[in-house]
A and B are shown apart, each in its own frame.
Chain A
Amino acid sequence: DQQVKQNSPSLSVQEGRISILNCDYTNSMFDYFLWYKKYPAEGPTFLISISSIKDKNEDGRFTVFLNKSAKHLSLHIVPSQPGDSAVYFCAASGPNAGNMLTFGGGTRLMVKP
């Protein structure tokens, strides 16, 4: 059973608008969450993370929100740019799990010029 789920396989957004990618998890022991971005023919690259002691983390155009009670996190990209078009993976880890991440299935974001 998947412990990290990204229910939207794809998302299309106009350039300049906000992109919101969602992720749900079931394991209440998860305490660290990350977003990775993957271009075709490349490996995933780290984007942004958040610890469970926070509910928001911001880095430039990227903001991650964590709602622990709902076991839900989201990644906001604003303004969206065509270069943001990629597959975005949500990942999570628990205490003492170190860097052994559990990944979601990914959401393909397409930003249209």
Chain B
Amino acid sequence: ETGVTQTPRHLVMGMTNKKSLKCEQHLGHNAMYWYKQSAKKPLELMFVYSLEERVENNSVPSRFSPECPNSSHLFLHLHTLQPEDSALYLCASSQAPTGRGGGNTGELFFGEGSRLTVL
């Protein structure tokens, strides 16, 4: 198994559907992230889990609901999405930061992304 795996790779859903994106990391990391990449926009940080606790929720609408049951798995539950939520959703993992100068390289390991289309 390689690094960070995301499923499904492609998802098409209606606005009334409920679906979930899954991410699994095999790198022994203890921090996981959801990023969103919309067309012609920078990657936007959505959620961060460090040591299985959510440490960041970047003003994301409640129709996106993350879940981190353990340090290897991360989910993004989706419900009543809007067409403008169509984007590439990227999961990443890293070692949990130990503070500046504590060996934190800032390097994230990304999955291949889940391409979401909301009709």
Contacts of B97 in A (CB 8 A): 98-99
Dominant SS among interface residues on chain A: loop
Cβ-defined partner of B42 (8 Å) among A32, A42, A43, A105? A105
Cβ-defined partner of A105 (8 Å) among B6, B41, B107, B113? B41
B19-33 residues at the A interface, CB under 8 angstroms: 31, 33
Contacts of A91 in B (CB 8 A): 106
Cβ-defined partner of A99 (8 Å) among B44, B90, B108? B108
A22-36 residues at the B interface, CB under 8 angstroms: 31-32, 34, 36
Query: Is there an interface contact between B106 and A106, defined as CB atoms closer than 8 Å?
Result: no
Q: How far is the CA of A2 from the CA of B92 in the complex (A)?
A: 21
Q: How many A-B residue pairs have CB under 8 A?
A: 69
Cβ-defined partner of B107 (8 Å) among A2, A46, A89, A95? A46
B99-119 residues at the A interface, CB under 8 angstroms: 99-100, 104-113
Query: Is there an interface contact between B100 and A100, defined as CB atoms closer than 8 Å?
Result: no
Size of the A side of the interface (Cβ < 8 Å), in residues, is: 27
Query: Is there an interface contact between B112 and A43, defined as CB atoms closer than 8 Å?
Result: yes
Kindly provide the distance from the CB of B90 to the nearest chain A CB, expressed in whole angstroms. Answer: 6
Q: How far is the CA of A41 from the CA of B6 in the complex (A)?
A: 12
Kindly provide the distance from the CB of B73 to the nearest chain A CB, expressed in whole angstroms. Answer: 17
Cβ-defined partner of B100 (8 Å) among A44, A45, A96? A96
Cβ-defined partner of A31 (8 Å) among B45, B92, B96, B100? B100
Query: Is there an interface contact between A99 and B94, defined as CB atoms closer than 8 Å?
Result: yes
Contacts of A41 in B (CB 8 A): 112
Kindly provide the distance from the CB of B18 to the nearest chain A CB, expressed in whole angstroms. Answer: 25
**A66 on interface, CB distance cutoff 8 Å:** no
Kindly provide the distance from the CB of B91 to the nearest chain A CB, expressed in whole angstroms. Answer: 8
Cβ-defined partner of B105 (8 Å) among A49, A102, A106? A49
Using known A-B contacts A100-B45, A105-B42, determine if residue A44 contacts B112 with beta carbons closer than 8 Å: no
CB closest residue in chain A, given B43: A103
**A86 on interface, CB distance cutoff 8 Å:** no
Kindly provide the distance from the CB of B48 to the nearest chain A CB, expressed in whole angstroms. Answer: 6
Query: Is there an interface contact between A101 and B45, defined as CB atoms closer than 8 Å?
Result: yes
Query: Is there an interface contact between B112 and A32, defined as CB atoms closer than 8 Å?
Result: no
> What 4 pairs between A and B have smallest CB-CB spacing?
A98-B97, A43-B110, A103-B43, A103-B42
